[in-house]
Amino acid sequence: MCGITGIYRYKGKVDEKVLLKLSNAVRHRGPDHGSFKIFNNVGLAHRRLSIIDLSNHANQPMSCCDNRYNIVYNGEVYNFLEIKKTLIKNGIKFNTNSDTEVILKSFVFYGYKAFSLFNGMFALGIYDSLKNELILARDQYGIKPLYIYHDQNLLIFSSEKKSILKFNEIRIDINYQAMSEYIWFGNPLGNNTFYNQINELEPGTIIKISKGKTEKNKFFDINNIKETQISEDDAVERIKHLFKKSIKR
């Protein structure tokens, strides 16, 4: 478990003290290392729980391509070694043994198609400093959390709502519909939270923030999975195969 936080201002600069305040609110998610980067109107912060590649080289925010692309990421992509082998064959070089670097360089190489390649759980933000674009993405089933506040002046994202609530400039009020849903169903429905101005990024979804505009696209939709007619014996063997493959990864 790690913690990610970021701010994208449409006008003005990101305040270092504010970004650190938001990042410290999720410090418990990543006690091993904490760092941040500010690119004028964009700030990225990360709290790390070291699991894969324990070296400092794998700390985040991580950058590549002469600091053009920068990532903050929470999760684990189980097939990252397979993806890494393919990238190496295509001439991509690596400086760490982390899955973070594989995710970042997969995005650089494949673009948005990279997210469909990842088998695992993730919530991430990637900033392209050349285009001044922020890309947010969440795994296919929404295993890892990613909360977003968005108004006409800025966008804030974080692994936890309480981090966003530390931002003093924004106005937040209670979403009573979501509270009712929680009482009835055990959780708010859809991407609702207890606050009207804070939503979860939907599973399998990408958001691009650029030039004052927001664009949202899905790279995975569970409703598009087609039903297959097979025998019970074939289904049992298929499950065994997939289960063993999953454990191996």
Q: Concatenated DSSP letters for 114-141? A: HHHH--EEEEEEEEETTTTEEEEEE-TT
Q: What is the CATH number of the domain that holds 189?
A: 3.60.20.10
- As a whole number, mean pLDDT of residues 208-236 equals 89
pTM attached to this predicted model: 0.91
Active site residues: 2
For the stretch 112-138, pLDDT in tens is 999 999 999 999 999 999 999 999 999
Contacts of 95 (CB under 8 A, 6+ apart): 57, 101
Q: From residue 199, give the alpha-carbon distance in Å to each of 7, 62, 190, 229.
A: 15, 26, 9, 38
Q: Is the pLDDT of residue 249 over 80?
A: no
pLDDT at 27: 93
Written as six digits, the tokens of 200 are 């979860």
How many structural domains are present in the chain? 1
178, pLDDT greater than 90: yes
Whether the CB-CB separation of 103 and 111 falls below 8 Å is answered with no
Rounded Cα–Cα distance for residues 130 and 38 (Å):
14
Full domain range(s) for residue 179: 3-248
pLDDT at 46 over 80: yes
Specify the pLDDT at position 51.
81
**Average model confidence (pLDDT) across the chain:** 93
The per-residue pLDDT for 54 is: 81
Give the total residue count for the chain: 249
What pLDDT does 248 receive? Answer: 82
Task: Look at 198 and 59; give whichever has higher pLDDT.
Answer: 198
Q: Average pLDDT, stretch 106-112?
A: 96
